[in-house]
Each structure stands twice: as C-alpha cells, then as structure tokens.
C-alpha cells in the first residue's frame, strides 16, 4: 500500500533555514501536501504541489519535488520560533475524492 516517510525530529536555530524531507511510494501520487500542526490544534495547510511541478515557492516556503526519486522537501527560510510545530507530508492520487496518506510528522524545534 501507499507509504509516506518522514524524519521524526528537526532542530534549528532561529534565523536559519529548515529543510524537512519526505519520501513516498505511490507512483500515482498527483497531489502532495504539507500541513502544520501546533499543539492541541487541527491541521493547517501550508502548501501543496502537483506532481508535474518541480518546485513551488510561497513567501518563506519552498517545496521541491523529485518525482523520479519520489522525494519531497519543504524548506522554511528564516525560521522563527513560531514555526515550531509538527509538519506532516501527505499525498493523494487525486484531490478531494480519496483520503490523504500522511507521514508520521516531523517535529520542528526552533531554538532562540
């Protein structure tokens, strides 16, 4: 079945860049998402990328997709303490009709 893998922890200093990596197994994945979850809260959609794209940038966020290696990364520039949260990578073959498959989440800790 589909599988999404992420490293569990990442610690960075405030002002540095954070890079969170994700790999997936489903070659039919068309939509790839990054969500942020703060303690006790729901999921906040950060950004998404279609499988026919290599890169997407949105302010401090940059998503890189290597479809050949099934590797996705999220780069957060100028990381702030407010970025401390759990980041989930998720994929789906189409948008809205089938359930998202989530990774286990990467806990980002930002050190002041």
Partner 1 sequence: GAVVSQHPSWVICKSGTSVKIECRSLDFQATTMFWYRQFPKQSLMLMATSNEGSKATYEQGVEKDKFLINHASLTLSTLTVTSAHPEDSSFYICSAGDTVYGYTFGSGTRLTVV
Decide: is 48 part of the binding site for partner 1 (CB under 8 A): yes
3-class SS of residue 22? strand
**Residue 83 to residue 28: CA distance in whole angstroms:** 31
Decide: is 65 part of the binding site for partner 1 (CB under 8 A): no
Decide: is 24 part of the binding site for partner 1 (CB under 8 A): no
Decide: is 40 part of the binding site for partner 1 (CB under 8 A): yes
Q: Give min distance, CB of 31 to partner 1, in A.
A: 7
**Residue 3 to residue 22: CA distance in whole angstroms:** 10
Q: Any idea what the Cα angle at residue 111 is, between residues 46 and 32, rounded to 5°?
A: 20
Give kind and range of the element (H or E) at residue 19: strand 18-24
Q: Give min distance, CB of 90 to partner 1, in A.
A: 8
For partner 1, the binding residues (CB under 8 A) are 31, 33, 35, 40-43, 45, 48, 88, 92, 94-100, 102-105
């Amino acid at each position: 079945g589909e599988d999404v893998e992420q490293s569990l922890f990442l610690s960075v200093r405030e002002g540095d860049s954070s890079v969170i990596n994700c790999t997936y197994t489903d070659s039919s994945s068309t939509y790839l998402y990054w969500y942020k979850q703060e303690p006790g809260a729901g999921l906040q959609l950060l950004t998404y990328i279609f499988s026919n794209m290599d890169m997407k940038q949105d302010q401090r966020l940059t998503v890189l997709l290597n479809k050949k290696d099934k590797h996705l990364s999220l780069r957060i520039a100028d990381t702030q303490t407010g970025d401390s949260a759990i980041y989930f990578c998720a994929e789906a073959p189409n948008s809205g009709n089938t359930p998202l498959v989530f990774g286990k989440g990467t806990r980002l800790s930002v050190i002041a």
